[in-house]
Structures are given as C-alpha cells and as structure tokens.
Amino acid sequence: MTQRVELATLRDRLAVDELISEYAVAVDDGDWEAYRGLFAPGGRADYRSAGGTEGDAGTVAVWLAESMRAFSVRQHLIVNRRVRFGVLEQDVGDTADVRADYVNPMRLAAGEGAGAPDFVSGGRYAFGLVRTDDGWRLRQVVIEEKWRRTPERTAPAGVG
C-alpha cells in the first residue's frame, strides 16, 4: 500500500468515525434535521429489535422525536467501532460497514416517577455507509438491542 493510499484510508476512517459520532449526538440532542441529513438518499434505519420502527430516515426521525420525549437526558455511547471498507461500482473505499457496540443511559423526564429513574440499554449497531458528493452518509442503520435495564415500572416501548 502506498503512502498516498494509506493517508486516504486514514482520512476516510476519521470521516466515518465522525459520522457515527454525529449520529449519536443528533439522537441525544433531539436534532432531527441533523439526523435526517446524515443519511444518503434512500437511507433507512431499523429499530425493531428495540421495540421501535423501520423505515426511511424521515419516517424514523418522526418516530424518534415522539419516543425520545419521554427522556430528559439521553447519552448514546458508541464504542468498539470496527470499520470495513467495501467496493461500489469497482471502486474500493466507496462503501463502509461499521459494527459498533453501544450503551445508552437515559433519564426519564421530570414528573415521570420519583427520582426520575434511569433506563439503560445496550447492544450493537450495524451501520452501512456510502461515499457521496457530500461526504460519507448512512445508507442503513440497524440496531440489535441485547439487554435493557428499566426502572421498576415499565419504560416506554420502542426506545433505543
């Protein structure tokens, strides 16, 4: 591998990592316009394993906005990111698959119970990315919830 290829790959890895971080921040901050902007045209998300929905980025953003109202504090910690670059139309490096684990602590909104107990879940994300004229964008997000800890009362279904 030449130095030029190594530098381009490093630059792509940093851009992919930034996109995943932007995803977490958009969800945590409830910035649904930014969330939609992270997706390539036709991009989709699947939150069904966490009790949620599946669909295009706009549809899922509407669902997330409604579901996340139950929580005053959200913090997606996305770690152990494994990036693999793929081939699109014969060009190496124009797609990427990222597998990353997550822990997602959230605090129920005020008035939702004594002491606003925590809701915490964990699992794995599968992100499919594509290089576009606007940089790296999500073509697919699939969440695989593996566990959840809820307060004594039942937390709202479909959060993740």
Residues ≥6 apart with Cβ < 8 Å to 2:
none
| Closest CA relative to residue 121, chosen from 42, 47, 58 | 47
Distance of CA 8 to the CA centre of its chain: 24
Q: Quick one: CATH architecture of 3-149?
A: Roll (3.10)
- CA separation for the pair 83, 95 (Å, rounded): 10
Contact 98, 20 (CB under 8 A): yes
Phi, psi of 44 (to 5 degrees): -135, 160
pTM for the full model? 0.86
- Residue by residue, pLDDT tens for the chain (160 residues) are 577 767 888 999 999 999 999 999 999 999 999 999 999 999 999 999 999 999 999 999 999 999 999 898 899 999 999 999 986 655 567 999 999 999 999 988 865 554 555 889 999 999 999 999 999 999 999 999 999 998 765 445 565 5
- CA separation for the pair 101, 122 (Å, rounded): 7
Q: What is the pLDDT of residues 108-136, one digit of tens each?
A: 886 555 455 588 999 999 999 999 999 99
